Amino acid sequence: MLKVSEDLLTKSRIAEALGTNPMRVTRFIDRNKINVVKKEGKRELYKLTDFNALKEELNSPEANKEAKSHGFSKDDYILTLKKQLEEQKLQYEQVLKSKDETISSLRETIATSQKSYDDMKDQLAVKDEQIFSLTKLTNNAQTLNLVDKDPKRIQAAHSDAETKPEQSSSSEETDDSTKKPPKKHWWQFGK
């Protein structure tokens, strides 16, 4: 500490001499209305002896307790920041865990949807087979119905189906008497 004398000092030098911070010195000046002794440019100079009351205030045990309860050291700030970082890390890990759970849930949903899709495809294949079988049965029923009504028609239908398209076209050429004249279109009427 600097010795107490009639020297003129700035606020920061006074704070250094008394072992406190410049803000506390400024508050003491405002509270006790201490006047500036001299100004050198922007610097305000005070007598150190005007701050004996502040020195006594700082040395009292109550002031030390109050300073400890209100003041934070760098270590306190570091510990506080470490705690905040640990809390943020825990929150981040919880977010990651939640994200992983969401992803696994979505994968299960996709697998279930894929299984449902495959089941639907199988059901559609069964439906197609049933339709094919039903169509066959319907054709057979119609054929049986025709046989009951007119057996000659069924023989003609079978013979027409068994003959080749070339043979049927040649038979049509020979039987011109049953053939109808070709239909005329509108552009052919002028000819």
Number of domains in the chain: 2
pLDDT for res 3? 44
One domain, residues 66 and 81:
no
The pLDDT tens digits of the residues spanning 136-177 come to 999 998 888 877 776 666 666 667 666 645 444 444 455 555
One domain, residues 22 and 83:
no
How close are the terminal C-alpha atoms of the chain, in Å? 133
One domain, residues 27 and 93:
no
- Tell me the C-alpha to C-alpha distance, in Å, between residue 161 and each of 135, 157, 167, 178: 18, 6, 11, 20
Q: What confidence tier does 107 reach under pLDDT thresholds 50, 70, 90? A: very high
Residue 48 in domain? yes
User: What are the start-end ranges of the H helices in the chain?
Assistant: 11-18, 22-32, 52-59, 61-70, 74-149, 151-162, 165-174
Residue 88 in domain? yes
The helix/strand/coil state of 175 is coil
Whether 31 and 46 have beta carbons less than 8 Å apart is answered as no
Higher per-residue pLDDT: 76 or 151: 76
One domain, residues 51 and 101:
no
One domain, residues 161 and 88:
yes
Residue 153 in domain? yes
Residue 61 in domain? yes
One domain, residues 34 and 57:
yes
| Highest averaged pLDDT of the listed ranges 30-34, 45-49, 119-123 | 119-123
The model's pTM is: 0.33
One domain, residues 93 and 155:
yes
Mean pLDDT of 47-56: 79
One domain, residues 125 and 48:
no
The helix/strand/coil state of 43 is strand
One domain, residues 60 and 120:
no
The helix/strand/coil state of 98 is helix
Q: What confidence tier does 63 reach under pLDDT thresholds 50, 70, 90? A: low
Mean pLDDT of 62-82: 67
Phi, psi angle pair for 28, to nearest 5°: -65, -40
Residue 3 in domain? no
Q: 91 lies in which domain range?
A: 77-166
Q: What confidence tier does 71 reach under pLDDT thresholds 50, 70, 90? A: low
| DSSP per residue, 111-156 | HHHHHHHHHHHHHHHHHHHHHHHHHHHHHHHHHHHHHHH-HHHHHH
Answer whether residue 54 shows pLDDT above 90.
no
Residue 125 in domain? yes
Answer whether residue 127 shows pLDDT above 60.
yes
Find the helix packing angle between 22-32 and 11-18, rounded to 10°: 110
Mean pLDDT of 101-111: 94
Q: Which amino acid is at 73?
A: S
